[in-house]
A and B are shown apart, each in its own frame.
Chain A
Amino acid sequence: MPNRIVVDPITRIEGHLRIEAEVKDGRIVDAYSAGTMVRGLEIILKGRDPRDAWAFTERTCGVCTTVHALASVRTVENALGIVVPPNAELVRNLMFCAQYLQDHVVHFYHLHALDWVDVVNALKADPVKASGIAQSISNWPKSSPKYFADVQKRINTFVASGQLGIFNNGYWGHAAYALPAEVNLIAVAHYLEALEWQKEIVKVHTIFGGKNPHPNYLVGGAPCAVNIDEANALNAERLAYVGRLFDEAATFVEQVYLPDLLAVAGFYKDWGAIGGGLTNFLAYGDLPVAGYNAPESFKFPRGIVLNGDLSKVHEVDGKDADQIQEFIAHSWYEYEGGDAVGKHPWAGETKLKYSGPKPPYDHLDVDQKYSWLKTPRWKGQPMEVGPLARMIVAYAAGNKEVQELVNGTLKSLDVPVTVLFSALGRTAARGLETKLVAGWAKEFFGTLVGNIKNGDTRMVNNERWDPATWPAQAKGVGMTEAPRGALAHWIVIDNTKIANYQLVVPSTWNASPRDAQGQRSAYEAALIGVPVADPEQPLELLRTIHSFDPCLACAVHLYDERGSYVHRIESF
């Protein structure tokens, strides 16, 4: 008899997410993923000035801030036929890279690490041994026995205070934690260091976009003018600042994040066979080298891999009405034409129609509609998006840089290529691409400085700024890769105003409810077979869900087969 586990809220994510899972004989046999919050941004966008859309859509997410703004300006530029100057493309690339560096590090240490790292166990560590381990895997200077002893003392004081704050009621001591105390201590030390570091790299956004979170974007280019002889513009000082931030980021990634990731992964190799799921991967690709309209030049390639078959990469076309469609069979919306049809985003509708239980409720009726997320499909098939999808597509596309890095890492961990299709593979892919991004950022920075040196200071293409220059009707699609995966916006412009605007975001691909055919999306598929040693402490479920880096808030409660709550644990 399966137990129904409900986790709501799922914490250490962005947004409101709820997972209901059925557990039998210590493993998950079925799962349902529900987004429980909606704001109606697509409804609010109707009738607005398309040039303003970036600001509205940027507020979709403050964790992966900036990516929706990027998708939005590209969407409007695509509709209006605007090509941005090379410098603007480079500034956008640099902001993209800064976002990845900050977001992936924060995900690893502050959102995901506590699934692998037992904070309280770090109190048992020998600081001298911890120092030895740290120095054997990295040149990072903060690694003396005294340093780790100080960190340990600090945690001790914190725990002794009795006020555990954000660490209260964690699953400390759970059997699924496998790290030695010394590695736990290193990870906790770097949790604190990463928290202090992450606020630095975002200054790239502040310099180019005026603030972070939510820097400013501009249809046609980038708002920051270049003038090397002016204090009020991008000049040598501002550029030197950016250069230094990326240098420091590369050091942090190479000397802290990656060594920690590999050290942790080494103790969880069994998770290379858990939490895989779909094995269909979609990446729109990004980081143009020869302009956004030349996707073949992207550092992250565009394409689709089906059924884990690395021998073929399929093409994806956002404008083809038969490729990307959204369904609402299990979503609280209604379509003209009924629940069975799928709609390409240009023809998309957002009409809220709640039909779930009236709150307060104990559980959702998962046979009916059970989520505020629509269900996107590519030619009818579910897709996983995110770092793993990007690395898989690049690998399959024959990208030498990615292949070398992935193969080298697999070799150093002594694991086969199949471990990529797993929760651990997802977490590892995120770290590996961060290393690539840190290197690419330096290339883009060098190119930008070179352009300016050669006298090209253009940042904006103003030819189509004035709505009087626009066609009466226009349609566009803009694609990017958010840290969490493939992201695209679609716009329909009518008489200079937004007639329709649709977003298909990474967590919609990953976290959506099943479709009318009963096909599971990525979260639900990945949870099948995941062990749950103790239904009262579903650490393994969180580990799997967090490996996707969810971008909506979720929550978990435990129910028995009759839908009543299972006993809760007391705090440790």
Chain B
Amino acid sequence: MLEGIMVGLGTAFSLTNLLMVIGGCLIGTFIGMLPGLGPMSIIAIMIPVAISIGDPSAALILLAGVYYGAIFGGSTSSILINAPGVASTVATSFDGYPLARQGKAGKALTVAAIASFSGGTIGAILLMIFAPALATVALLFHSAEYFALMVVGLSAIAAFAGSGQVGKALLMTLLGLIMATVGEGALFNMPRFTMGVMDLQSGFGFITLAMAMFALPEAMYLVLDPSRSNTGGGSSEIKDLRITRDEAKAITPVIGRQSIQGFLIGVLPGAGATIASFLGYAVERNIASKEEQEQFGKGSVKGLAAPESANNAACTGSFVPLLTLGIPGSGTTAILLGALIALNVSPGPRLMVDEPQIFWAVIISMYLGNLILLILNLPLIPYIAKILAVPRNYLIPFILFFTLMGAYIGQNNATELLILVGLGICATVLRFADYPLAPLLIGFILGSMLEDNFARSMQLYDGLGFILERPMTLGLLALAIILVVLPSYRARRARLRAEGAADAD
């Protein structure tokens, strides 16, 4: 392996390849900041350029740089304007945006950058050491386990079910699950619940819904409720990158845990970065102490660090099935696989043996890409954060423009804009009535995967037998229950103890 690493280092550190990583990272970061252009579309745009380079190592290094840059840039719009452009950064906005609203945009971006860097780097190290061994892990999960994993992911909504909000959060989750059933599912050959509207035949678009639930109501809120319209731009703290010692202490174990957990979830072809980010958020919230739990959803640095390290580690993890089995676990790795084949590289168990320089160059470039992203981005953060200091009568049209563009850009379908505005108005009303909107989006994103995997398991086992027949499924379902029940149990015990102490007086 050492020999391989040396070959990889030699390849990755040539001048052209270094320029490729830097160029790729820059392109990825800037395009990735636009909502609506996720890593998948940016890589698709860059592939002809990469193929024209000819040298497979250089081409892959460029694409890996673009990939990391895009993931990195994607969290910026989530944090600054509450507009998550890709599903895997939805969880980032839960705590990132509240932090920005409190005038701590600089700090939020820094935490995100450090968490991303650590997640990506730890992921790359795990990939380097364990890739061949993990090929079997990738195939461990069947549909039944994926179903159970989605249930664990749903427990993330607990973060939005504060006191008196439980009913509202459940209602919104249900609404999200219902919306996920619109259109053609993977399991039926007829469209459902489209009410004859042709544009609903493919279901609601993720970007449209994310913009309608998060960014649009936020912009409208700023217009309709000027008293609460402080965008956080006035304070001088906005450019401040510094993280206090306490905060650093709080996020270090979170980043460590979530980098490993996120990586392992990324290895599973049916899960990916989005699930990893929700699970990371859910797990960290539910194991946090009572006081810290209160902060989740309101601007907790832990709540920001968890999904950011998890989604970056998961992106690295998704290279395991791609490089060792030739199976793409996500849309992005499917496109990367296409690029590999076009470059005459056959991914699979033989890649490491036949063309070690490519295998190792990719892994080294991951590490390098993460490092360069951190170096490039930290100095830029104050300038990016200053966007929020723009006066609100300029800022709001800017947010609206990005929101509408995000929904239109991928599909070129103007009806998406009508759906966006319609849903956005409903979402604004719900916001004023104090309904949390995040559970709706979580329900929507997990809904179709939940349904598909559940139905597949039912079909394979001719009924619900899979829950008892597969111990791992049962274990994961039990974990989901524990994650939801544990916090309230602990709270109750603490209360009882407090009462007991009072009685003793």
Q: Do A and B come from one complex?
A: no
* Interface residues in chain A, defined as those with a beta carbon under 8 Å from any beta carbon in chain B: none
